Structure 1
């Protein structure tokens, strides 16, 4: 999928970094993964809170999506804005998602938000040793 800007209605939120949306006149929902962040898995500590955070911002809202391509599971990777806010920044700033180290250099504003959330003990950073979702998936056999 070439980069495009889509105007969509968010119809479901899967977890803290993925959602489904109806875009343009398409009848088939678009499965979207927020680019540049990784939220806790639903069964992981703060997984439900991360999902609730994204629901509160985007569910049943119009969203602007700047598509970047697809991930390994066929979901559309996109920068998503709901209610005028960048969804990834909102999740990271609330302590509900990580900025993977491979993204830190290209996303310095998100990394700064993560550092601020960590310093203030927001969300998952209230834990003594929060487990990144990529480690959780590896330990529990999830892709």
Structure 2
């Protein structure tokens, strides 16, 4: 038996990119950019792995495009250390065009921001 479901809540960490934390400079704008990319669109979620905390890691596709690569192209995310050349070239183009986070002369990568602002529940 198969069911069609129009709405499913899935919590997913993007594979191969890192975006600013919500309270970090640029974090709200990055989230707004993500919402604009996903809003009222048919999505495909591809889970690649589960991390040690039980969180899904993967990709979201709108059509045949990875949303994570679009965020990088718009300048709202950094490529991860193991990202493909495609991601790196999009990041370089966003930086050169000073899009998104790259409007700041020295944007702070999220991994550095998290080191300086440890999570306290």
TM-score (norm: length of structure 2): 0.86
Cα deviation for residue 39 of structure 1 reads 0.3
Q: Which residue of 80, 87, 91 corresponds with 1:110? A: 87
* Higher-strand-fraction structure: 1
Q: Deviations over 1:18-48 (max 9, x none)?
A: xxxx1xxxxxx32111111000011111101
Larger Cα Rg: Structure 1 or Structure 2?
2
For 2:60, the equivalent position in structure 1 comes to 80
Cα RMSD (Å): 2.0
For 2:51, the equivalent position in structure 1 comes to 71
Supply the distance in 1 between the matched residues of 2:94 and 2:16 (Cα, whole angstroms). 17
**Aligned residue pairs, count:** 117
Task: Give the ranges of 4+ consecutive aligned residues of structure 1 lying more than 6 Å apart after TM superposition.
Answer: none
Aligned pairs for 1:1-143 (under 5 A) are 22=8, 29-100=9-80, 102-104=81-83, 107-142=84-119
Query: Residues 39 and 47 (structure 1 numbering): CA distance in 2 closer, same or farther, change over 3 Å?
Result: same
- Unmatched tracts of structure 2, length 5 or more: none
